[in-house]
Structure 1
Amino acid sequence: MVVIGAGFGGIAAAAALLRAGFTDVVLLERASSLGGVWRDNTYPGCACDVPAPLYSYSFAPNPLWSRRFPPHSEILTYLREVAEKLDIARKIWLGTEVVEARWVEGSVAGGHWLIRTADGAEIEADVLVPAVGQLTKPVVPSLAGADRFEGPAVHTARWRPGLPVEGRRVGVIGTGASAIQLVPAIAGVAAHITVFQRTAPWTLPRPDRRYGAGRRFAYRHLPVLMSLPRAGVWAMTVVTGRALLGRRWSQTFVRTVSTVQRRLQVRDPALRARITPDEPMGCKRVLFTNRWLPTLARPDVSLVTDKIVELTADGVRTADGAHHPCDLLVYATGFAASDLVTPLRIVGRGGVTLDNEWRDGAYAHLGMAVPGFPNLFLMYGPNTNTGNTSVIYFHECQAGYVVQAVRRLAAGAQPLAVRREVAAAYDAEIQRRLSGTVWTACQSWYRNASGRIVTNWPGMASEYRRRTARLDPADYEPV
């Protein structure tokens, strides 16, 4: 069994398989260390925006978190320690980039995957689990004059150690999850920060707090206590999740909290008007922060809402004709989340590539199984992104499903290929349900070129767990 990727999704799959007694597992990781998105994102202020009790594996609670919303370094350390403790680390082949995986018909087992790496090596596997995630390909907008800008320009996901910020005029393009962490972290260090906003995000207070030595001592000696904050965070995500799905009482409550936060933290009515969202809540990710709004009100921070026209040698020119001088330019512009598994080439039955199968947009039964691609199960695949809870919860659901598939194969079942009509019916249901949510009004953010929403899950996380709890053999056909 081969898992591609050693981030939270890949580690979850490997952990589930090992705990189920399947030791013939290899993880192929193109980077020089494990960690996925938490290895790649090292910008100042980088931290989790989901409370730690839920942003961790249920089978590996961590008594050592320093706070409810831990910084990047603690999350990466946690993931590495889980990999070591569960003996996963020694099964990871670092520096191994997969360029192609091809289904080969006709072996004794009915077929297998032939995996080719960038250095020309070939690996055979009965089961293939791509766990490359949705946050691997940074988006850098195409701006006129980008080649003329003379200062450093960097995406937040490619932050370089030692990048000079102190005393610099910094331009930050974007107001998403990374920007609302970066800007407060460097405000007061940079000479001036200019934030270029396309649309204002919805925000909510971040209920952060430090975890004292007494709490950590209690968690170490009575691990059952850690289930209490996890349950509390889960309850909170139910409220925010129902709000995003249009439940009137939840949405009214959450919108009211957000409105009060803006009024209390931004006294200037003109600035407050510019940071008030004009799209429905949920069009972009709702951001938990206590520092973003006050930072925008600082005298050394400017908010620009006019469209960027071009970059110059020393700054940014906007549609109003103003020139905004910058020494350092930061793209806080997110990821191409709908470009799943690229640039990896996956070839299924009959030589059909996954790119071709997904030519009108990615889809998969339960976000994992694709017709024509036997014994392939995606982690964090199409329509499994959650806007209200921890993606790790979804990872564990998917890992449990993979274990069920492997058990059937180990018992002598033929390769598992999801029936096309099953996958089509599931996809039609998901798209229909998504069309009745807030994301319908936000197609510029969520829809791909074909008009499909390929990332988001339309329901509550508890529904996804129910639907993945049991693999139905009738969903699959013999190969």
Structure 2
Amino acid sequence: MTAIVARPNGTDHLNVLDTVDVATEPITVQPRVTNGAATSARPRFSYATATTLPLVDRFIDEPRSLRVAVVGGGLTGILAGILLPRKVPGIKLTIYEKNPDFGGTWLENIYPGVRCDIPSHVYQATFAPKKDWSDEFASGAEIRDYWQDVARQYDLYKYARFNERVLAAEWYTTNSTWQVTSSKGDKSIKEEYDFVLTAVGRFNTWQLPDYPGLSDFQGLLRHTSNWDATFDPAGKRVAVIGNGASGIQVVSSLQNQVVQLDHYARSKTWIASSWAGDDRTLEPQPISQEKQAQWQADDAAYLEFRKTMEDKYWRRFRTFIKDSDENAALRERFTDVMKSRLGDKAHLAKDMVPDFSPNCRRLTPGPGYLEAIGQDNVDYIQTPIRRFTATGIETEDGKHRPVDAIFCSTGSRRDFVPAFEIVSQDTTLAEVWAADGEHGFPYSYLGVAVPGFHNLLLIQGPHGTAPSGTVPHSVESQLAYIAKVLRKVSREGIKSVRPCKAAADDFLAYCDSFFKESVVSETCSSWYNGGIPGSRVHGIWPGSAAHLTIVRRDPRWEDFKYEYIAESNGNRFMGYLGNGSTRKEQDAESDMTTYLHEAVDLRDVHESWHTIP
């Protein structure tokens, strides 16, 4: 056997044979001559004298257990409770929920007409289809029941701590853990976790407006997210403030039950015919028993129906691009729809049709809303409110309108700052994100983590969903990304992970560049921009849903900073590589050839990377 000895770069020649017979001659390196000068040989390595580190006695496929707190038990928290234990071996999961059950916004919102404006068969977990939805657009109660049923089906209740409100989460650098403080009744509880995941939702922290005289009003005053189920609208005079999704639904539902309805709307909004060509009406749209039975009996037929229905929501992205033909077509169609549906009050179109493009703020289908505005017992009021009085509302023109009840559809906090305090290294997330804070908006890395905040991961926070696609899929794909982070930490001896500021800054620069070309950067008030027209867009992803799916498939590990457990002695590989073996190979019955199977697609050999989404 002959070995070829390559010359090092920059060396004129070696003082050894260029070829040697390794069967008869050992290879030794003699003193080298470099540019005419002799250099000494490299010292020979010896295990007897080498300085080594103690091996960590663990198998590489035996991950370290992680204590993970999920804050929030709505759709996002439910999906986290289902997917993370199945994707992250050894996870010890706790789900904090301030309410007595799972359900989130669908548990809390019980106002008249509350329904999903996305088809029922789209607004469900990808892996838990419900073939017997009773209506094309389910009521809030049916959606709540669905998600609670899914939670029971996947045994989530064992992780839940209901009626327990998280007050604070503080990072301790001494032991690299989060201390979570919660309250249940009059009891304060402190627990330690390796990771905190926020799943508090976008519209959970509702707020009343701050008009003067708010406390003077003697009638019923409620936010639509805090509805009084005992309220009887019959014969009442009511005011509805705000024309967001809930305000539009309340106006549509109450108009034919009350004597008079005053609708206060400062902002214009597009009333869409539908989200993706799915016509929705104010009245229920029941799905026939025959159709439900057909789907129950034919899985293939239901899957095809579901794929056709959901596919449309992945095709809407071009309508968000400035000066696109698709957006122009929306403007023309929605303008015609609004004018025709106002009936005898078509003259109001000039006050209601926005100057900004469709999709600058979230579209609202609003079936029955414009028809309600057109009725004689409804006044559409754009004059700003001056103050509340004991008996009603006074506007800036001095006009006073008496009412029995006032319902505020004034939204929730739009800064994405969780309702509980998050503290890391003497800095709170609110100080970083709040309008008057360090950055003034929800600054993040890919909408999943924040520089300076160790082991804090965001679910459906800023940039959490794309303008196309579906919410359940977006949540699931983000949880798959988070599961990759947790697996890396548990397997590689990492005690803390956080994104690099440079990476977050580069992401921000991309966001600014992308949104400049999108209609969401136009001058309108929306939760995309924190309710501040013209400010930085942070509510949605800078790209399509398919684009976001690819980003989440393979984390860019180079964008993170890591700290390692003490047993690693500062070496990134000691805690990871462990004792050099696997637990699996110790089991004589284990299958060590899982890579051998029939019907191989060569693109999928040892990986799967090419499918979208």
What TM-score range do you get, normalising by the shorter chain?
A: over 0.9
- DSSP 3-state at the match of 1:478: strand
Q: What is the correspondence of 1:64-79 to structure 2 with a 5 Å cutoff?
A: 64-79=132-147
**Alpha-carbon distance in 2 for matches of 1:443, 1:290:** 22
Say yes or no: does 1:383 pair with 2:450. no
2:384 match: 307
Residues paired across the two proteins, number: 474
Residue identity opposite 2:181 in structure 1: R
- Residue 384 of structure 1, CA deviation: 2.0
- DSSP 3-state at the match of 2:513: helix
| 367, 375, 392: which one aligns with 2:447 | 367
- Residue 374 of structure 1, CA deviation: 2.1
| 562, 566, 573: which one aligns with 1:478 | 562
2:69 match: 2
**Alpha-carbon distance in 2 for matches of 1:329, 1:387:** 33
- Residue 464 of structure 1, CA deviation: 1.0
Question: What are the superposed Cα offsets for residues 293-319 of structure 1, whole Å, 9 maximum, x if unpaired?
Answer: 111111222211222222222222223
- Residue 417 of structure 1, CA deviation: 1.6
2:200 match: 132
Say yes or no: does 1:11 pair with 2:78. yes
Matched-pair identity in %: 25
**Alpha-carbon distance in 2 for matches of 1:38, 1:93:** 18
Residue identity opposite 1:20 in structure 2: K
Higher RCO (CA-CA < 8 Å; seq separation 6+): 1
- Residue 402 of structure 1, CA deviation: 1.2
Say yes or no: does 1:274 pair with 2:354. no
**Alpha-carbon distance in 1 for matches of 2:443, 2:298:** 43
Q: Measured at CA, do residues 76 and 153 of structure 1 come closer, stay the same or move farther in structure 2, by a change above 3 Å?
A: same
Q: Measured at CA, do residues 57 and 224 of structure 1 come closer, stay the same or move farther in structure 2, by a change above 3 Å?
A: farther
Say yes or no: does 1:113 pair with 2:178. yes
CA contact 1:338–1:454 (8 Å) conserved in 2: no
Residue identity opposite 1:463 in structure 2: H
Q: Which runs of 5+ in 2 are unaligned?
A: 1-67, 564-613
Say yes or no: does 1:355 pair with 2:424. no
Q: Measured at CA, do residues 222 and 406 of structure 1 come closer, stay the same or move farther in structure 2, by a change above 3 Å?
A: farther
Residue identity opposite 2:508 in structure 1: D
1:55 match: 123
- DSSP 3-state at the match of 2:458: coil
CA contact 2:252–2:367 (8 Å) conserved in 1: no
**Alpha-carbon distance in 1 for matches of 2:361, 2:529:** 12
CA contact 2:224–2:409 (8 Å) conserved in 1: yes
- Structure 1 range deviating more: 388-397 or 46-55: 388-397
Q: TM-score, normalised by structure 2?
A: 0.74
- Residue 386 of structure 1, CA deviation: 4.5
Question: What are the superposed Cα offsets for residues 383-415 of structure 1, whole Å, 9 maximum, x if unpaired?
Answer: 224455432222112111111112112213312
Say yes or no: does 1:422 pair with 2:503. yes
**Alpha-carbon distance in 2 for matches of 1:89, 1:332:** 32
Q: What is the correspondence of 1:228-239 to structure 2 with a 5 Å cutoff?
A: 228-239=304-315
**Alpha-carbon distance in 2 for matches of 1:180, 1:244:** 23
Question: What are the superposed Cα offsets for residues 353-401 of structure 1, whole Å, 9 maximum, x if unpaired?
Answer: 2223332221221211111222221111112244554322221121111
CA contact 2:244–2:409 (8 Å) conserved in 1: yes
- Residue 351 of structure 1, CA deviation: 3.0
- Structure 1 range deviating more: 446-455 or 4-13: 446-455
Q: Which structure has more helix as a fraction of its residues?
A: 1
Q: Measured at CA, do residues 434 and 262 of structure 1 come closer, stay the same or move farther in structure 2, by a change above 3 Å?
A: same
- Structure 1 range deviating more: 434-443 or 456-465: 434-443
Q: Measured at CA, do residues 27 and 271 of structure 1 come closer, stay the same or move farther in structure 2, by a change above 3 Å?
A: same
- Residue 25 of structure 1, CA deviation: 1.2
- DSSP 3-state at the match of 1:416: strand
Q: What is the correspondence of 1:330-345 to structure 2 with a 5 Å cutoff?
A: 330-342=407-419, 344-345=420-421
**Alpha-carbon distance in 2 for matches of 1:219, 1:141:** 46
1:320 match: 397
2:292 match: 216
CA contact 1:169–1:190 (8 Å) conserved in 2: yes
Report the RMSD for the aligned CA atoms in angstroms.
2.1
CA contact 2:467–2:543 (8 Å) conserved in 1: no
- DSSP 3-state at the match of 2:132: coil
CA contact 1:149–1:314 (8 Å) conserved in 2: yes
**Alpha-carbon distance in 2 for matches of 1:242, 1:477:** 36
**Alpha-carbon distance in 2 for matches of 1:458, 1:316:** 41
| 46, 51, 55: which one aligns with 2:114 | 46
**Alpha-carbon distance in 2 for matches of 1:224, 1:405:** 35
| 233, 246, 258: which one aligns with 1:178 | 246
